[in-house]
């Protein structure tokens, strides 16, 4: 029962669409209406509003970590399967972000939320993976390539740092979904027409309130 409740709670929290909420708060166009159409921090950045993009990034990452933190706090010393429930909550939050019921199951690609889940497992794991992600962005300015590289090495880092089969399996599953969600970006990268970080695409103005 704890696993089911943790999964449902994590999914609901993960389904909070920060990209849409923040964009509305800043009176920006819906991020689904321009650029990649992806409700995530990178696409919000294409609006030209760095503060909104940063808040989206923080919000999306926080919900992955928060789902795990709350489940751990509630179940502390109450269940021998506490660790499994925490891992399930993190994975469910990631799934909720990628397939949120709030947006018709068409969500973001999961990079920030995945990072929040990694932080829930280990600060060192999150920091090392984020460092790889940031380094690739700095040197290539391809957000998608940075996400793909980070997702490819995260399971290796997980096993190396934690040596836990269950956690490594969760991270591997999460990264597999993340890579799959980037399939269109992979095609664009191979074709040489993937957009770079810092490039702006025209966004439609939001409707009047």
SS (H, E, C) 144-208: HHHHHHHHHHHHHHHHHHHCCHHHHHHHHHHHHHHHHHCHHHHHHHHHCCCCCCCCCCCCCCCCC
For residue 127, what are the contacts with CB-CB under 8 A and spacing of at least 6?
none
pLDDT of res. 196 = 83
CA 85, 89, 94 angle in degrees (round to 5)? Answer: 150
For residue 209, pLDDT beyond 90: no
Residue 202 has pLDDT above 60, yes or no: no
Question: Residue 90: which H helix or E strand, with range?
Answer: helix 82-98
The sign one gets for the Cα dihedral 172, 176, 181, 186 is: positive
Give the pLDDT of residue 205. 44
Which pLDDT value is given to residue 194?
87
Tokens of 29: 């166009």
The DSSP line for 31-89 is GGGSTT---SHHHHHTTT-HHHHHHHHHHHHHHHHHHHHHHHHHHTTT-TTHHHHHHHH
For residue 156 the two structure tokens come to 């290796």
Q: Compute the distance between CA of residue 87 and CA of residue 79 in angstroms, rounded to an integer.
A: 14
pLDDT (tens digit per residue) in 178-196? 999 999 999 999 998 888 8
Please calculate the CA angle 81-121-77 and round it to the nearest 5 degrees.
35
Residue 207 has pLDDT above 60, yes or no: no
Report pLDDT digits (tens) over 34-60: 988 899 998 999 899 999 999 999 999
Q: What is the pLDDT of residues 57-86, one digit of tens each?
A: 999 999 999 999 999 999 886 655 678 999
pTM metric for this prediction: 0.89
């Amino acid at each position: 029962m704890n696993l089911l409740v943790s999964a449902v709670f994590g999914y609901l929290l993960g389904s909070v669409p920060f990209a849409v909420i923040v964009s509305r708060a800043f009176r920006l166009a819906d991020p689904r209406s321009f650029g990649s159409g992806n409700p995530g921090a990178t696409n919000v950045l294409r609006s030209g509003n760095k503060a909104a993009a940063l808040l989206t990034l923080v919000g999306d990452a926080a919900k992955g970590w928060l789902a795990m933190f709350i489940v751990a706090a509630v179940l502390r010393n109450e269940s021998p399967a506490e660790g499994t429930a925490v891992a399930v909550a993190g994975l469910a939050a990631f799934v909720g972000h990628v397939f949120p019921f709030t947006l018709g199951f068409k969500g973001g690609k999961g990079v920030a939320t995945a990072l929040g889940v990694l932080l829930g497992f280990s600060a060192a794991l999150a920091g090392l993976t984020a460092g790889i992600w940031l380094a690739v962005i700095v040197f290539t300015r391809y957000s998608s390539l940075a996400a793909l590289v980070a997702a490819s090495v995260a399971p290796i880092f997980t096993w190396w740092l934690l040596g836990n089969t269950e956690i490594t399996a969760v991270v591997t599953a999460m990264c597999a979904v993340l890579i799959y969600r980037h399939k269109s970006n992979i095609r664009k990268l191979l074709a040489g027409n993937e957009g770079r970080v810092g490039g702006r695409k025209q966004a439609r103005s939001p409707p009047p309130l």
